[in-house]
Chains A and B, each alone.
Chain A
Amino acid sequence: MKVLIVNNMAPFVSGGAESMATHLKRNIEIAGHQAEILRIPFQWEPATRIPSQMLMSRAFELEGVDHVIAMKFPAYLVRHPRKTLWLVHQYRQAYDLYDAGHTNLPEGQLGSDLRRVIKNADDACFRDARRIFAISDVTRDRLAKYNGFESTVLRAPLNDPDIFTGGPAEGYIFAGGRVNDAKRQHLLVEALAHAPRTVRLVIGGPPDTSADGDKLRATVERLGVQDRVRLDLRFLDRLEYARYVNGASAVASLPFDEESFSYVAMEAATAAKPIISTSDSGGVLGLARHGTTGWVAAPNAKALAQVMADVYASAERTRELGVAAQACWEGFNITWPATAQALLS
């Protein structure tokens, strides 16, 4: 089959969904088909521009394409008789974010008119789709709640699981990924101040803004824990990153209300490393289970400190939790071949 993967694009901004599409393409080709990616530029500011962007997607003719896999609004509005949706997200500012008051839709009649247009177009699209998959439980639930359509959860696999080979624990807790307030790496630093001196922490990843990096460095200074924490605040290439994971005693992922498992947790589990998380981390708790695959603490420094200390209590137990994390993760069978197969079915 000739399969076209259709996604949005924000010019000059490369996001997670970009590499997802690339890996999907590769795996569709491995499965014996031809695949290409169509990236449709999407501009949602100001909100009155959105109808034109929707019409843009609708105007494309896809001759010679046998199957479409579409991921986001409004790219998924593209016309094709055989279209499967892998819903990464809808235009949330017309739905849950609108309810929460975080929207660029204007107040008053115009705003509700735009919402109606978006919902009507979405409903028609979901009705006509061959199959609907959602990237996470939350996305599935939102779709059901706001548009009344069922979907199957199909999570994004890791792009490069083979580099997470695991290995002997070298005595540090690793926190990877983007550094910002929502990811809460600062909480780990604060916890360090309450934890025994054996606990060592490595934070490796790019700060969203220089202020985020500065804040973290300032916290380390303020608490005087420089000797126990290593800040490697920059974009790490995959092998560097994997080295940190593979040598860790445990891996921490404690974002606030995350939708998915979080890549950090998935990578840790692949490497058979136990996961430290917090009770309000949302989707991460699908992988991080206290006492089974790692530790889940209340989201405060003291509680975290205890958990971090526990990593060092028994090397054997820590290792076992890591193995269990790996088994748990593999049980989900979230792999690219399986994903590609589902999206082509």
Chain B
Amino acid sequence: MKFVLFSPFAKASAIGRVTALLVQACAPLGHSITIVRTEQESLLDTPAHACDAPVIPWTDAAAVGAAIKAADAVVYQIGNNYSYHRGGLSWLGIAPGIVCLHDFLVAHMFVEWAAGRDAEAREVLHEWYGASAPTEFFAMKDPDAFVEMASQRYPMTEWVAAMALGVISHSQWGMPRVAQSCPGPLRVVPLPYDAPACKPAAPVAPDPQAPVHILTVGHMNANKRVESVIRAIGTSTTLRERVSYRLCGRVEPPTERALKSLAESLGVTLVVSGETDDAALQEAMNHADVVCCLRWPSFEAASATAIEGLLYGKAVVVTDTAFYSELPSDCVQKISPDNELSELRTALELLCNDADARNALAARGQAWATRTFNPTNYMEQLADFARRTCAAEPLIGMVGAMTRDLSAWQASREIFGDEYLTQPLQLFQIDN
């Protein structure tokens, strides 16, 4: 099959890395692929992942148009970051295709997209969430409260799903909203990822005195629960004595000060590395014993960091929610968000004190992750899914033609949804 894949492709983009892996998986399967970079114009020149496939900027309309015309399937990587996905969003409206949805919560992307499109954006909010939605949505200014409100009530998943011919996502938890809004088929496929610089752990005799390295990766905002980890370590003698907790990723100065202050007051060894390059990050991964991947609330379909931690053969600690709940319980250490501090402390103590248990967990996790988050498997599923969406397209076209007539006649929502219209069409339903 010939694919066109719209994706951010900057080296800094985890989704870009996923895309690069998919490109590699294509040739052995007999597929060909063209990448269309979707970052906003000011970022289109940033260094990209290396790959064998042709890469076109989304702004080159002629080239993109030609690629789409020649393709068997058009695929869009979509996530919550507008600056990365701007081009994809733009083309999705013109050339419908499969959406690989990386975040179920895309409200932040929606806000940026809505700039200069006030009426349209309100229309969208009204359509999916009711008459009071537009006002409430745009009135919420506090970032944390906005995330809370959006993840509960206005995730904007439907807005994106409705534009797609079919949606692939990477875990189940956000799919109900997708099912309500996407006209085509749906599928859940594990996110492909890799551990490029994974060094097998040197067999070392467990030393009860050796320091235990805990790592958290990513943009250090409140939902990463860094504060909780510090507190868990700080309220345990064992952990305090043995654990070195490292943060790799962007952290705002006020947050950094607060966390350092907390760590100091509790006697916790905290290393704030800030933003690191790939090599340093890989080194940190290799060096770590435990990766803490807590999230509350969570809005990703899948966590690249958690998957990476597993692929690197580390013991991974997660919050029992969303994507993480769907990981096998014998492959990760799950912490209930209702009892976070207590469970976290107990879990970290166990992982610290019992190196065998820690290594066993990590080994199981690594084996499972290698099998599961597999680019070849993803490409096979994507190709199969593309066939399914091709079969859905004529039906979507059929409904589209009727919808256009009904809209031109100003049919009400009640008329649109009437049983006499909808029931006879159920014959065409494809079982997912």
Are A and B in contact, CB atoms below 8 Å, in the complex? yes
Where the two chains meet, the residues of A that have a C-beta atom closer than 8 Å to any C-beta of B are 48-49, 51-52, 54-55, 58-59, 109-110, 113-114, 116-117, 120-121, 124
B411 touches A51 (CB 8 A): yes
A51 to B410, CA, bound (A): 12
B415 touches A114 (CB 8 A): yes
A48 touches B412 (CB 8 A): no
A58 to B418, CA, bound (A): 18
A117 touches B410 (CB 8 A): yes
A113 touches B414 (CB 8 A): yes
Cβ of B412: which chain A residues have Cβ within 8 Å of it? 109-110, 113
B409 touches A52 (CB 8 A): no
Given A51-B415, A51-B421, A58–B409 Cβ distance below 8 Å?
no
A75 to B402, CA, bound (A): 16
Distance (Å) between the CB of B83 and the closest chain A CB?
Answer: 43
Distance (Å) between the CB of B231 and the closest chain A CB?
Answer: 57
Cβ of B409: which chain A residues have Cβ within 8 Å of it? 54, 116-117, 120-121, 124
Cβ-neighbour of A52 out of B408, B414, B424 (below 8 A) = B424
Cβ of A52: which chain B residues have Cβ within 8 Å of it? 418, 420-421, 424
A48 touches B410 (CB 8 A): no
Contact mask for chain B residues 394-427; partner A; CB cutoff 8 A; 1 contact, 0 none? 0000000110011011111011001111001000
A49 to B424, CA, bound (A): 12
Nearest A-chain residue to B404, judged by Cβ? A58
Closest 4 CB pairs of A and B: A120-B409, A113-B412, A117-B409, A49-B420
A121 to B404, CA, bound (A): 12
**What are 29 A-B contacts with C-beta separation under 8 Å?**
A48-B420, A49-B420, A51-B406, A51-B421, A52-B418, A52-B421, A52-B424, A54-B405, A54-B409, A55-B402, A55-B405, A55-B406, A59-B401, A59-B402, A110-B412, A110-B414, A113-B414, A114-B415, A116-B409, A116-B410, A117-B406, A117-B409, A117-B411, A117-B415, A120-B408, A120-B409, A121-B409, A124-B408, A124-B409
Distance (Å) between the CB of A126 and the closest chain B CB?
Answer: 14
A116 to B410, CA, bound (A): 7
- Contacts beyond the supplied A55-B402, A124-B409: 18 A-B pairs with Cβ under 8 Å: A48-B415, A48-B418, A49-B420, A51-B421, A52-B421, A52-B424, A54-B409, A55-B421, A58-B402, A114-B415, A116-B409, A116-B410, A117-B409, A117-B410, A117-B415, A120-B409, A121-B405, A124-B408
Cβ of B411: which chain A residues have Cβ within 8 Å of it? 51, 113, 117
A113 touches B420 (CB 8 A): no
Q: Is the interface of B mostly helix, strand, loop or mixed?
A: helix
Distance (Å) between the CB of B79 and the closest chain A CB?
Answer: 38
Q: Is the interface of A mostly helix, strand, loop or mixed?
A: helix
Where the two chains meet, the residues of B that have a C-beta atom closer than 8 Å to any C-beta of A are 401-402, 405-406, 408-412, 414-415, 418-421, 424
A109 to B413, CA, bound (A): 12
Cβ of A54: which chain B residues have Cβ within 8 Å of it? 405, 409
Nearest B-chain residue to A43, judged by Cβ? B420
Cβ of A110: which chain B residues have Cβ within 8 Å of it? 412, 414-415
A58 to B402, CA, bound (A): 8
Cβ of A117: which chain B residues have Cβ within 8 Å of it? 406, 409-411, 415
Distance (Å) between the CB of B389 and the closest chain A CB?
Answer: 23
A58 to B401, CA, bound (A): 9
Cβ of A48: which chain B residues have Cβ within 8 Å of it? 415, 418-420
Given A116-B409, A120-B408, A121-B409, A51–B420 Cβ distance below 8 Å?
yes
Nearest B-chain residue to A123, judged by Cβ? B409
Cβ of A113: which chain B residues have Cβ within 8 Å of it? 411-412, 414-415
